[in-house]
């Protein structure tokens, strides 16, 4: 009875129905491994995709397949996407809900109190918090070894990373002149490759707005921008292409790698390093 | 009936002086404090790089746009008030600015502006023209001035709703912020690219409106008398429609819909003239340039965490004028 109901729910969820049937149920290593994992946060999506078996994942957030927002977007294709609605979560009857944090989700608050196992992840502002989230998620989905291997791989990649920044100043400049400050993942990334965050130098909060004039006057050595703003699509991105900024070298990093504390952290770090190196070698960056 | 009416050239000269002060102040003040000496050095070509970029790439295009957009809005207000013989007529009250913003939004957010840079002013002008035609058809000949204002509110509200809808439908996750800029207007972060879009439109539109002084004067005697005096009302209406649409369209395409400039300026100018429509056209253009440049300076100087939108400042200045006239109208209600 229960299986039939579940099959029905899977069919309702569209493309997921086929997958459900195609993926063999994972061999039960630990009896506790959840089989219907739902993620209700874009950052949790990426950890779940990296660590759980595909067949274990029953639902992700609606942005999980957006290549510009999620570093694991390619893997998410075909998995059911939920629109943060309590009804959809209820229909899945998840045996693990992962969020950031899950316990404060508005959709879950709307559900009748039930015993959904929740995994509350912390927003990562530092690398060690990313490791902690990987560790927690891996344990919760029943693949602890996979988590430890991922952490070891990331540590290995970062250990060999050069620091070509040499104390030069960079500003992470976003649409409409928002600048990312200290105490953020971006700030940590800058430090890791040897750059100094302009926001820290100017004593700005984690997110501040800096006008073009102030940016021109501050004269950073690099502007780090989101690769989505490389083309002008609206007024917010148009400002980053103002002629006044044309002489400041740019480093362009996909937002998908930096917006969440995720395994893509190492990709972001490597990309920044290689772009600085290319600039120093005299190539166009 | 004698009124204080200085000779026309005195008025124009003093307004021009005021505008010059506004323009110079707009070049002197900004987010970064630069000494006058540094700016003068930059202006004469031997300044440091930072001051030169700030002066020529940031403050100069912004100042030029404030002057041009303000002049266009002031002039359009004066011309529309003259033609419609309605003291409340002006591009933002009649919904023209918002309709132009809708055209601009359609050009930018659906990728049309990428096909050709001319698409932006063309669509903004098209939006403005469409709204004016609709408005004149609805209420152009109405007896009560309030009918026109009501029709304008309807057209403007429709355009605002269309703008919000277009932005919500566009694949842009930052739509809310963008909607605000288009509806309240801003000259932040403008470059010479924008000047080249707006200036030709404003020059053409402005010329078409300034040309109408005499015809508007004859119209104060009524349409029949105007026709008897040789005014071709149909042609006048066409020039006014197209001139306003092109000028306001070009202005709004780069600045968003800035309200009330066209309302305030003619009312401030009118008591200083003989009150004939022709006498307020040019002074309203110059006064509009000064007003918007001062308003834009206020936006930069008033300390707020996020930059204040230009339309907020002009609304604070304009709404009292609007209310004053509504109070006077109440006698007719």
* B76-124 tens-digit pLDDT: 999 999 988 888 889 998 999 999 999 988 888 887 877 887 888 999 9
A239: nearest CA partner in chain B: B189
* B124-152 tens-digit pLDDT: 999 999 999 998 888 766 667 678 888 89
Would the pLDDT of A93 be above 90? no
Predicted pLDDT at B123: 94
Predicted pLDDT at B330: 62
Q: Coil, helix or strand for B5?
A: coil
A177: nearest CA partner in chain B: B189
* A209-259 tens-digit pLDDT: 899 999 999 999 999 999 988 888 788 888 999 999 999 999 999 999 998
Residues of B with CB under 8 A from a CB of A: 30-32, 50, 53-54, 57-59, 108-109, 172, 174, 177-178, 181, 188-189, 191-193, 305-307
- First-residue to last-residue Cα distance in chain B: 28
Phi-psi region of A267 (alpha: psi -120 to 50; beta: other; left: phi over 0): alpha
Predicted pLDDT at A273: 95
What is the distance in angstroms between the Cα of B173 and the nearest Cα belonging to chain A?
11
B277 membership: H or E segment, kind and range: helix B277-301
Of A177, A217, A236, the CB nearest to B178: A236
Average pLDDT, chain B: 88
**DSSP secondary structure letter of residue A25:** P
* A127-137 tens-digit pLDDT: 999 999 999 99
Q: Copy the structure tokens of residue A87.
A: 């009804």
Predicted pLDDT at B47: 81
Of A175, A214, A233, the CB nearest to B32: A214
Predicted pLDDT at B231: 86
* A174-199 tens-digit pLDDT: 988 899 999 999 999 999 999 999 99
Q: Copy the structure tokens of residue B228.
A: 């008897």
Of A236, A243, A247, the CB nearest to B191: A243
Q: Copy the structure tokens of residue A211.
A: 């006008």
Beta carbons of B304 and B120 less than 8 angstroms apart: no
Task: Grade residue A16 by pLDDT with cuts at 50, 70 and 90.
Answer: very low
Q: Does the distance separating the beta carbons of A233 and B57 come in below 8 Å?
A: no
Beta carbons of A214 and B31 less than 8 angstroms apart: yes
Lowest mean pLDDT of A155-159, A219-223, B5-9, B65-69, name the range. B5-9
Beta carbons of B124 and B99 less than 8 angstroms apart: no
What is the distance in angstroms between the Cα of B181 and the nearest Cα belonging to chain A?
9
- In whole angstroms, give the CA distance from residue A150 to residue A88: 31
Predicted pLDDT at B102: 93
Average pLDDT, chain A: 84
- Residues B295-315 have a mean pLDDT of 85
> Between residues A113 and A158, which one has the greater pLDDT?
A158
Would the pLDDT of B166 be above 50? yes
Q: Does the distance separating the beta carbons of B50 and A217 come in below 8 Å?
A: yes
> Between residues B220 and B251, which one has the greater pLDDT?
B251
Lowest mean pLDDT of A86-95, A247-256, B201-210, name the range. A86-95
**DSSP secondary structure letter of residue B316:** H
* B235-270 tens-digit pLDDT: 888 899 999 999 999 999 999 999 899 998 998 898
Q: Copy the structure tokens of residue B268.
A: 């401030």
Please count the residue pairs, one from chain A and one from chain B, whose beta carbons lie less than 8 angstroms apart: 65
Predicted pLDDT at A92: 87
Predicted pLDDT at B2: 44
What's CA A46's distance to the chain center, in Å?
6
- Residues A61-85 have a mean pLDDT of 86
B128 membership: H or E segment, kind and range: helix B119-139
Predicted pLDDT at B142: 66
Would the pLDDT of A10 be above 50? no
Q: Does the distance separating the beta carbons of A233 and B178 come in below 8 Å?
A: no
Would the pLDDT of A25 be above 50? no
What lies within 8 Å, CB to CB, of B185 at 6+ separation is B252, B255, B256, B257, B258, B259, B309, B310, B311, B314
What is the distance in angstroms between the Cα of B328 and the nearest Cα belonging to chain A?
41
Of B50, B59, B178, the CB nearest to A235: B178
Side-chain half-sphere exposure of B318, counting CA atoms within 13 A: 28
């Amino acid at each position: 009875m229960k299986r039939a109901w579940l099959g029905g729910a899977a069919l309702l969820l569209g493309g997921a129905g086929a997958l459900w049937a195609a993926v063999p149920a994972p061999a039960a290593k630990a009896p506790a491994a959840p089989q219907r994992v739902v993620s209700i946060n874009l950052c949790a999506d990426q950890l779940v995709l990296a660590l759980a078996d595909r067949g274990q994942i029953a639902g992700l957030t609606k942005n999980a397949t957006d290549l510009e927002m999620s570093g694991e977007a390619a893997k998410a294709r075909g998995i059911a996407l939920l629109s943060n609605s309590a009804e959809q979560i209820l229909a899945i009857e998840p045996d693990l809900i992962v969020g950031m944090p899950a316990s404060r989700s508005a959709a879950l608050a709307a559900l009748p109190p039930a015993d959904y196992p929740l995994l509350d992840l912390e927003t990562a502002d530092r690398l060690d918090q990313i490791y902690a989230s990987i560790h927690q998620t891996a344990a919760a989905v029943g693949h602890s070894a996979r988590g430890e291997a991922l952490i070891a791989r990331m540590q290995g990649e970062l250990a060999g990373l050069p620091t070509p920044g040499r104390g030069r100043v960079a500003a992470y400049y976003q649409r409409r002149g928002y600048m990312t400050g200290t105490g953020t993942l971006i700030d940590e990334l800058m430090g890791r490759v040897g750059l100094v965050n302009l926001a820290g130098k100017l004593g700005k909060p984690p997110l501040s707005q800096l006008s073009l004039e102030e940016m021109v006057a501050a004269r950073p050595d690099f502007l780090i921008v989101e690769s989505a703003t490389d083309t002008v699509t609206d007024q917010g991105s148009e400002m980053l292409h103002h002629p006044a900024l044309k002489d400041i070298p740019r480093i362009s990093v996909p937002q998908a790698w930096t917006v969440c504390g995720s395994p893509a952290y190492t990709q972001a770090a490597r990309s920044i390093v290689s772009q600085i190196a290319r600039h120093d070698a005299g190539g166009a960056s | 009936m004698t009124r204080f009416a200085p000779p026309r050239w005195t008025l124009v000269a003093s307004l021009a002086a005021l505008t010059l002060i506004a323009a110079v102040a707009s070049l002197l003040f900004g987010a970064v404090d630069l000494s006058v000496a540094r700016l003068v050095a930059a202006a004469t070509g031997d300044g440091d790089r930072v001051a030169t970029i700030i002066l020529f790439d940031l403050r100069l295009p912004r100042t030029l746009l404030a002057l041009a957009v303000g002049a266009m809005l002031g002039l359009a207000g004066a011309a529309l008030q003259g033609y419609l013989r309605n003291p409340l007529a002006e591009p933002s009250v009649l919904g023209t600015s918002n309709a132009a913003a809708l055209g601009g939004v359609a050009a930018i957010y659906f990728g049309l502006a990428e096909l050709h840079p001319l698409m932006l002013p063309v669509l903004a002008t098209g939006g403005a023209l469409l709204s004016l035609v609709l408005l004149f058809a609805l209420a152009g000949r109405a007896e009560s001035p309030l009918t026109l204002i009501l029709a304008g509110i309807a057209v403007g509200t429709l355009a605002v709703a269309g703008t919000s809808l277009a932005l919500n439908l566009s694949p842009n996750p930052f739509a809310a912020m963008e909607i605000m800029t288009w509806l309240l207007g801003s000259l932040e972060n403008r470059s010479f690219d924008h000047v080249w879009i707006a200036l030709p439109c404003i020059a053409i539109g402005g010329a078409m409106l300034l040309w109408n002084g005499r015809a508007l004067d004859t119209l104060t005697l009524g349409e029949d008398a105007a026709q008897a005096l040789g005014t071709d009302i149909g042609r006048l209406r066409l020039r006014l429609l197209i001139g306003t649409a092109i000028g306001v369209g070009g202005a709004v395409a780069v600045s968003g819909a800035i309200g009330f400039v066209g309302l305030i300026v003619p009312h401030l100018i009118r008591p200083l003239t003989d009150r004939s429509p022709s006498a307020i056209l040019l002074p309203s253009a110059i006064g509009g340039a000064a007003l918007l440049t001062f308003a834009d300076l206020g936006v930069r100087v008033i300390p707020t965490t996020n930059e204040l939108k230009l339309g907020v400042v002009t609304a604070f200045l304009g709404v009292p004028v609007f209310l004053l006239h509504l109070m006077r109208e109440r006698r007719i209600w």
